[in-house]
Amino acid sequence: MSDQPVAAAPGRARLSPRKKQKITRGTQYVVLGVVLGALLLYVDWASLSQNFAKGDVAEKALPELFTIALRNTLIYTIGGFVLAFVLGLIFALMRISPVRPYRWIATIYIEIFRGLPALLIFLLITFLPLALPGFEVPGGTYGQGILGLGLVGAAYQAEVFRAGLQAVPKGQTEAARSLGMSAARAQFTVVIPQAIRIVIPPTTNQFVSLLKDSSLVLFLGVSGQYVELAKFGNDLASQYANATPIMVAGLTYLIVTVPLGYLATRLEKRKGSGR
């Protein structure tokens, strides 16, 4: 905003810009106050806290909340992330390959798995043993969850990698090739290490996204020692007919996702300011 006094046009402009701004801001505070007041008046806080934040029900979630649920969420997520990372890199390299069928396969895979709801993939995975008699996903329930997250994550991660690989200037490959490196050697020694630096921030976001999607493991019909946060919260909520465990599970997600989100933002800023 300019601090210079603006000469009022004669006969007009009864309000200076600064005064106008003051009124607008004042109105916004009034609206906020009214909405908050209405909430305080009309919401039944006792019943709300009874159902969503009941202390003794929350206590029932401990210690399994961390020893089983969070632990499993992290197992599914990290396993899925590793699979997505490896598959994603392979699909990204295929997508920019000079071999046309590789490009087709990668493109089709990426479009399908980005286009389908992750939930659908998980539902299909439960039918795999029917479709392929005798086939069993290695690692049992963990394996199924990791497979689902990995297959979905790979499609997104492939696009992240592709963008990263294409962000490395062409001159880098040319320099490597003119030093006598083969095309593959140049990729692995010069291009991929730089691409990985570029993709660290979006990959961190990708991890957060997988962590949230790990809640879909719920639909694999897991139980007992295999439950992750969402299923764990949901089961306890049914047991006590109270939503508090779901809130507790939600908070536990936030404990992990919020710091990771900040980390991604910081990494992005650092990238922007050079090495």
Query: Which residue ranges make up the site for another protein (CB under 8 A)?
Result: 169, 171-172, 174-182, 185, 189-190, 193-194, 197, 274-275
Shorter beta-carbon distance to another protein: residue 12 or 275: 275
Name the residue nearer to another protein (CB basis): 135 or 188.
188
Nearer to another protein, 48 or 179 (CB): 179
Residue 155 or residue 165: which is nearer to another protein going by CB?
A: 165
Helix (H), strand (E) at residue 117: none
Taking alpha carbons only, the member of 68, 4, 22 closest to residue 229 is: 68
Indicate the residue among 28 and 182 with the shorter CB distance to another protein: 182
Give the nearest distance from C-beta 169 to another protein in angstroms.
8
CB 61 within 8 A of CB 234: no
Say what angle helices 140-167 and 100-115 make with each other, to 10 degrees.
Answer: 120
DSSP letters spanning 31-69? HHHHHHHHHHHHS-HHHHHHHH--HHHHHHTTTHIIIII
Nearer to another protein, 8 or 167 (CB): 167
Minimum CB separation of residue 172 from another protein in Å reads 6
CB of 116 to another protein, least distance (A): 36
Angle (deg, nearest 10), helices 71-95 and 192-213: 140
Q: Is-contact 84 221, C-beta < 8 A?
A: no
Least distance to another protein, CB of residue 201, Å = 16
Q: How far is the CB of 98 from another protein (least distance, A)?
A: 13
Instruction: Find the shortest distance in angstroms from Cβ 197 to another protein.
Output: 7
Rounded Cα distance, 113 and 110, in Å: 5
Nearer to another protein by Cβ, of 4 and 178: the residue is: 178
Whole-number CA gyration radius for the chain: 26
Smallest separation (angstroms) from another protein to the CB of 234? 46
Helices H, strands E: what count in the chain?
14, 0
Under 8 Å between Cβ of 263 and 204:
yes
